[in-house]
């Protein structure tokens, strides 16, 4: 069930075969690389009987839905928890009330972790958690806890490691069974109702008859996970060979036919594309660029991209980018915009800039809060028509007949040819039978090919396609929209602030800069404590909650640095400096090295982890390292450069062993090893001549640069105290001037745009 505006909405039954909602490329080997088969067998010894007795039979009919009283989750703000607020399950949010009850009654804990736009989380809710018979048994024998993984990635990270250690894989919904001390002894992902019944019954029997075995398993597993969090400092020298090794790992898995990496399902994973573009620039490697551009084009022409409303879906279930999992995540939009912007800077091809613009416009229209801040996600499911049950992709798919009713005959034929529309549907993969006779728009025929087939000019084809998309979009907007998760997360907002700031740099459009600045102001107003310098993680409906994590500080800092380079307002730079100082205080491991993901102040967390994987989002360690390197160049802070270098060395062995796991850290290494330009713009940021110089810098792909402002005001005063040479930088003859420096040694300044272009083109 889903809760909207205090009302319950019926959701239809779904096929029972699970497709696990994984927001990351399966990387279980990284988490279990040091766990031998013998060790894992020892961990699972006490629960072998559980698995042996549980069959994966077909689920029974869903229990009749009836009006129920709200449970404790009705008092929460998380959209995901509110979706479960009327389950008959006696849910608790993660917290002391649940922990104390488990200890007092000596009951095992059932922990369910998911997120609001997770397809199989919805299925498990409908088939398991809405089943009154199952709920009655669970309420009698377990303490049941629900966690929104997007609000509490710290909790999710600990128990995901447990599930992956036990099963070799992970995903959501995540289902775990814990002792009252919060130690896991069994776990998995989606369980259909019959298997869930048998499993929980056997656990209750074990808990009653042989609790010592489950306790022993939980202790061994927890100790194993604790040892896995200990990372020995690396011994690898920081050489370019690490970058070459990283490129080689991507090259080996590249799909030359359809773009992307691997054979499917395929995830965008922008962090890998970021690295490849930087490797192309620093190593003059054409293949790195070609692989990236081909992948970006394939994603944008496939069903992964929303050709009517803009924006990207989460991932493709096939290897051709044709059939997406239809949820839309803020962090995907943000990171992909940045990669498409960089592709445009490198090539000048408007194809890439148009995709970036369409994605940004989607975010402005559907995922932007009026008062500031960006929403988190849109669901994959929606009702085809009001009052009908929800189906995956219903908002986005079309029958050929629908298209023919909206467009005239010739337009419909041309549109169908270009976008691969067929009378019997075009889904490459439909294991759950949700796309019968439905079409997912993708570019099946290029504009030149379509032009030739219909004997029309390419300009005419483009015009027909544009008007046809507008006609279909007008109809689509009348359909019930997918559920919107409207919580504001600092980390994801930081990524989106960065995207809008960099788009404003590339395109010179004030509306993009304004969107970035408005969101930054909102975050700093609602989720930042100026007295303590601390952040909170989530805002929704007037409530700011949860201590922020390393990723929140890191991503917001990155966004503020990009915003400073967009408008040269020194307050963004000052704030980035303050957040970096605070994150070092809260998260840096001064004994071993690297940054912890959390502050360590929550006693309910079994482990204090250090993220080592750049997945669908970069790790906090990777982004923090690059932030430190950028800030060391912007403030001449040698301590920060050394701290970044020590972090790179700390992760050096992991970079050498599996560089494809940390491409954003490789990007930081590339910056560290490169020759960085400090570009100082001397002039009033509001004047046209200053903006012209800034535009000349921004239109180029310059990953090894920082931009600083000598504005003859507060900004120059601040920087002058840090970098004395900036004090004397002035416009030339009344015109704004650019100073190009390396290691704070500057060439002669120039006010001439052509001269500036030549200076920027020289060197890395």
Encode pLDDT of 16-59 as tens digits.
333 444 443 333 333 333 344 334 444 444 444 444 443 333 33
Q: What is the CA radius of gyration of the chain?
A: 27
pLDDT score, position 2? 39
**Would you say residue 555 has pLDDT above 50?**
yes
For residues 30 and 428, give the distance between their C-alpha atoms in angstroms, rounded to a whole number. 31
Query: Do the two domains 2-228 and 675-764 of this chain adopt the same fold?
Result: yes
Q: Are 708 and 720 in contact (CB under 8 A)?
A: no
Q: Are 575 and 556 in contact (CB under 8 A)?
A: no
pLDDT score, position 232? 85
653 sits in which H/E element:
helix 652-657
As a whole number, mean pLDDT of residues 561-566 equals 98
E strands, 688-757, are 705-710, 737-742, 745-746
**CA neighbor of 188 nearest in space, from 132, 123, 110:** 110
pLDDT score, position 264? 86
As a whole number, mean pLDDT of residues 279-306 equals 98
The string of pLDDT tens digits covering residues 482-491 is 999 999 999 9
For domain 2-228, give the CATH number. Answer: 3.40.30.10
**CA neighbor of 398 nearest in space, from 378, 379, 413, 416:** 416
pLDDT score, position 126? 95
pLDDT score, position 66? 52
324 sits in which H/E element:
strand 324-325
3-class SS letters over 514-557:
HHHHHHHHHHHHHCEECCCCEEEEEEECCEEEEECCHHHHHHHH
For residues 441 and 420, give the distance between their C-alpha atoms in angstroms, rounded to a whole number. 7
Q: In sequence order, what DSSP letters do the residues of 456-490 get, joined into one string?
A: --HHHHHHHHHHHHHHHHHHHTTSPPPPEE--EEH
For residues 15 and 731, give the distance between their C-alpha atoms in angstroms, rounded to a whole number. 68
**CA neighbor of 515 nearest in space, from 320, 616, 364:** 364
Report helix, strand or coil for 165.
Answer: helix
For residues 207 and 635, give the distance between their C-alpha atoms in angstroms, rounded to a whole number. 59
For residues 627 and 629, give the distance between their C-alpha atoms in angstroms, rounded to a whole number. 5
**Would you say residue 206 has pLDDT above 50?**
yes
For residues 138 and 401, give the distance between their C-alpha atoms in angstroms, rounded to a whole number. 47
Q: 609: which DSSP letter?
A: -
Q: For helices 270-283 and 240-253, what crossing angle results, to 10°?
A: 130
For residues 103 and 100, give the distance between their C-alpha atoms in angstroms, rounded to a whole number. 5
Mean pLDDT of the chain: 91
**CA 103 to each of CA 181, 210, 222: distance values in angstroms, whole numbers, following the listed order:** 7, 18, 18
For residues 75 and 93, give the distance between their C-alpha atoms in angstroms, rounded to a whole number. 9
**CA neighbor of 148 nearest in space, from 75, 95, 80:** 80
Prediction pTM value: 0.92
pLDDT score, position 224? 95
For residues 364 and 423, give the distance between their C-alpha atoms in angstroms, rounded to a whole number. 34
**CA 270 to each of CA 10, 343, 618: distance values in angstroms, whole numbers, following the listed order:** 36, 12, 9
For residues 435 and 424, give the distance between their C-alpha atoms in angstroms, rounded to a whole number. 10
The string of pLDDT tens digits covering residues 112-156 is 999 999 999 999 999 999 999 999 999 999 999 999 999 999 999
Q: Are 627 and 550 in contact (CB under 8 A)?
A: no
Residue 539 β-bridge partners: 488, 544
**386 confidence band (pLDDT: 50, 70, 90):** confident
The string of pLDDT tens digits covering residues 496-547 is 999 999 999 999 999 999 999 999 999 999 999 999 999 999 999 999 999 9
For residues 750 and 693, give the distance between their C-alpha atoms in angstroms, rounded to a whole number. 10
**CA neighbor of 307 nearest in space, from 408, 420, 428, 392:** 420
Q: For helices 620-635 and 663-673, what crossing angle results, to 10°?
A: 20
For residues 498 and 511, give the distance between their C-alpha atoms in angstroms, rounded to a whole number. 14
As a whole number, mean pLDDT of residues 5-10 equals 36
User: How far apart are the two ends of the chain, measured CA to CA in Å?
Assistant: 55
The fold adopted by the segment(s) 675-764 is Glutaredoxin (3.40.30)
Query: Where are the domains positioned within the chain?
Result: 2-228, 260-485, 675-764
pLDDT score, position 763? 62
**CA neighbor of 311 nearest in space, from 286, 335, 292, 345:** 335
Higher pLDDT residue, 296 or 385? 296
Q: Are 557 and 583 in contact (CB under 8 A)?
A: yes
The string of pLDDT tens digits covering residues 226-263 is 998 888 888 889 999 999 999 999 999 999 999 999 99
Residue 607 makes CB contacts below 8 A (sequence gap 6+) with: 158, 161, 225, 226, 229
pLDDT score, position 157? 95
Higher pLDDT residue, 169 or 365? 365
The string of pLDDT tens digits covering residues 443-469 is 999 999 999 999 999 999 999 999 999
Q: Are 563 and 520 in contact (CB under 8 A)?
A: yes
For residues 697 and 640, give the distance between their C-alpha atoms in angstroms, rounded to a whole number. 25
**Which long-range CB contacts under 8 A does 714-720 form with residues at least 24 apart?**
714/570, 715/568, 715/569, 715/570, 715/573, 718/570, 718/573, 718/574, 719/570, 719/634, 719/635
**CA neighbor of 41 nearest in space, from 162, 214, 227, 166:** 166
Query: Residue-wise over 30-68: b if at least 16 C-beta within 10 A, else e?
Result: bbbeebeeeebeebbebbeebeeebeeeebeeebeeeeb
Residue 445 makes CB contacts below 8 A (sequence gap 6+) with: 417, 418, 420, 453
* Least confident piece of the model among 187-196, 224-233, 448-457, 599-608: 224-233
**Would you say residue 471 has pLDDT above 80?**
yes
**CA neighbor of 380 nearest in space, from 447, 339, 432:** 432
**Would you say residue 6 has pLDDT above 80?**
no
Residue 732 β-bridge partners: 735
**CA 530 to each of CA 527, 583, 584: distance values in angstroms, whole numbers, following the listed order:** 10, 14, 17
pLDDT score, position 371? 95
As a whole number, mean pLDDT of residues 721-736 equals 96
Higher pLDDT residue, 562 or 433? 562
Q: Are 20 and 172 in contact (CB under 8 A)?
A: yes
723 sits in which H/E element:
none
**CA neighbor of 660 nearest in space, from 271, 256, 208:** 271
């Amino acid at each position: 069930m889903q809760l909207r505006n205090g009302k319950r909405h019926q959701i239809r039954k779904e096929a029972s075969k699970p497709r696990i909602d994984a927001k990351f490329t399966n990387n279980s080997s990284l988490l279990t690389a040091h766990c031998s088969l013998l060790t894992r067998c020892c961990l699972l010894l006490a629960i072998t009987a559980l698995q042996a007795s549980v069959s994966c039979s077909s689920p029974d009919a869903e229990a009749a839905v009836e009006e129920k009283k709200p449970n404790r989750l009705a008092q929460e703000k998380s959209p995901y928890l509110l979706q479960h607020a009327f389950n008959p399950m006696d849910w608790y949010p993660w917290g002391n009330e649940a922990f104390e009850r488990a200890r007092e009654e000596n009951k095992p804990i059932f922990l369910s972790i998911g997120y609001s736009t997770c397809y199989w989380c919805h299925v498990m809710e409908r088939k398991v958690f809405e089943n009154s018979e199952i709920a009655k048994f669970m309420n009698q024998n377990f303490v049941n806890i629900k966690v929104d993984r997007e609000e509490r990635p710290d909790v999710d990270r600990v128990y995901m490691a447990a599930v992956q250690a036990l099963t070799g894989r992970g995903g959501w919904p995540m289902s775990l069974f814990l002792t009252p001390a919060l130690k896991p002894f069994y776990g998995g992902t989606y369980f259909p109702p019959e298997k869930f019944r048998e499993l929980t019954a056997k656990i209750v029997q074990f808990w009653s008859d042989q609790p010592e075995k489950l306790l022993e398993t939980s202790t061994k597993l927890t100790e194993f996970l604790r040892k896995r969090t200990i990372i020995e400092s690396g011994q690898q020298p920081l050489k370019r060979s690490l970058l070459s090794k990283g490129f080689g790992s991507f090259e080996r898995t590249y799909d030359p036919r359809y773009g992307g990496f691997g054979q499917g399902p395929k995830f965008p994973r922008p962090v890998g594309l970021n690295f490849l573009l930087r490797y192309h620039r620093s190593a003059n490697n054409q293949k790195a660029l070609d692989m990236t551009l081909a992948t970006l084009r394939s994603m944008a022409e496939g069903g992964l991209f929303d050709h009517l409303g803009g924006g990207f879906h989460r991932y493709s279930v096939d290897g051709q980018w044709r059939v997406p999992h239809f949820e839309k995540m803020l962090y995907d939009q943000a990171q992909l915009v940045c990669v498409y912007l960089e592709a445009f800077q490198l090539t000048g091809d408007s194809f890439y800039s148009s995709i970036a613009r369409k994605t940004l416009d989607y975010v402005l229209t559907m995922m932007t809060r009026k008062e500031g801040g960006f929403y988190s996600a849109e669901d994959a499911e929606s009702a085809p028509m009001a009052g009908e049950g929800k189906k995956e992709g219903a908002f986005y798919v079309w029958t050929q007949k629908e298209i023919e009713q909206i467009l005239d005959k010739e337009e419909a034929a041309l549109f169908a040819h270009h976008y691969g529309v067929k009378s019997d549907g075009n889904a490459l993969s439909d294991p759950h039978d949700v796309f019968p006779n439905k079409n997912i728009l993708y570019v099946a025929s290029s504009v030149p090919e379509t032009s030739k087939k219909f004997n029309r000019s390419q300009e005419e084809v483009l015009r027909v396609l544009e008007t046809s998309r507008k006609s279909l979009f007008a109809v689509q907007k009348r359909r019930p929209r997918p559920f919107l998760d409207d919580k504001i997360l600092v980390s994801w907002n930081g990524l989106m602030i960065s995207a809008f700031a960099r788009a404003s740099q590339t395109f010179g459009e004030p509306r993009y800069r304004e969107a970035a600045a408005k969101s930054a102001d909102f975050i700093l107003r609602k989720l930042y404590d100026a007295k303590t310098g601390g952040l909170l993680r989530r805002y929704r409906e007037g409530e700011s909650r949860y201590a922020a994590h390393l990723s929140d500080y890191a991503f917001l800092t990155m966004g503020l640095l990009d915003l400073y380079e967009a408008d040269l307002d020194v307050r963004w730079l000052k704030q980035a400096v303050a957040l970096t100082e605070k994150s070092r205080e809260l998260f840096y491991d001064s004994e071993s090295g690297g940054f912890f993901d959390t502050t360590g102040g929550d006693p309910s967390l079994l482990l204090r982890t250090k993220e080592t994987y750049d997945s669908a989002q970069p790790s906090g360690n990777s982004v923090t390292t690059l932030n430190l390197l950028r800030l060391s160049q912007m403030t001449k802070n040698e301590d920060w450069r050394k701290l970044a270098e020590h972090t790179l060395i700390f992760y050096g062995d992991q970079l050498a062993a599996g560089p494809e796991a940390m491409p954003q850290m490789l990007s930081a290494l590339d910056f560290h090893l490169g020759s960085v330009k400090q570009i100082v713009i001397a002039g009033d940021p509001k004047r046209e001549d200053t903006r012209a110089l800034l535009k000349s810098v921004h239109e180029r792909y310059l990953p090894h640069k920082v931009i600083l402002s000598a504005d003859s005001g507060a900004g120059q005063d601040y920087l002058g105290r840090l970098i004395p040479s900036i004090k004397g930088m002035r416009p030339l003859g009344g015109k704004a001037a650019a100073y190009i420096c390396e290691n704070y040694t500057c060439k002669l300044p120039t006010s001439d745009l052509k001269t500036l272009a030549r200076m920027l083109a020289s060197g890395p």
